[in-house]
Amino acid sequence: MYHVAGTHIVPGMSPEQQRKAQRLERPATVAALLVIPYLLLTYYLGTEPGWEVVTDVLYLLLWGFFVAEALIMLRLSPSNREWFKRNVLDVVIIVLTAPVALFASDSFEALQCLWVLRILDLLPDIHRWWFRITVLRFAFIL
């Protein structure tokens, strides 16, 4: 269940912690939305000479952001256990898409599609900051 103030809010946060957590919402939403162009680049141009390096760098930047966001939230959260309980999906995505598998297997691309779930996780922020989500838009995004 999301806090009405934002998706990064954990019960028990002080007002200062809530403000710091809310500052992460827009960058997290932008990073989650950048996953779609990244996946398209990887699918269409990922094996072309020169583009493989670009997609690998983009991958490392996106994954690094997700890890940094999780670490910042763990530091801000009054209870790490509560944060883990409310963000199981984020932790699973970070672990399953770790860059170790990036260089180990070609079938890793299927796991990268899990990043799209971050968009669904951040829909309340997208709804609040960028556009109102109607039932039709929500169905299209889903």
Task: List the one residue out of 112, 122, 116 whose CA is nearest residue 59.
Answer: 112
Domain range list for the chain: 15-141
Q: What is the pLDDT of residues 6-65, one digit of tens each?
A: 567 778 888 898 888 888 888 888 888 888 888 888 878 766 777 878 888 888 899 999
Instruction: Identify the band that residue 4 occupies on the pLDDT scale cut at 50, 70 and 90.
Output: very low
Task: Output 94 or 122, whichever has higher pLDDT.
Answer: 94
Task: List the one residue out of 65, 59, 80, 64 whose CA is nearest residue 27.
Answer: 65
Residue 102 has pLDDT above 60, yes or no: no
Residue 130 has pLDDT above 70, yes or no: no
Instruction: Identify the band that residue 108 occupies on the pLDDT scale cut at 50, 70 and 90.
Output: low
Task: Output 124 or 1, whichever has higher pLDDT.
Answer: 124
Query: Could you tell me what percent of the chain has a pLDDT over 70?
Result: 69
Sign of the Cα torsion 127, 62, 83, 141 reads positive
Lowest mean pLDDT among 25-29, 66-70, 71-75: 25-29
Instruction: Identify the band that residue 124 occupies on the pLDDT scale cut at 50, 70 and 90.
Output: low
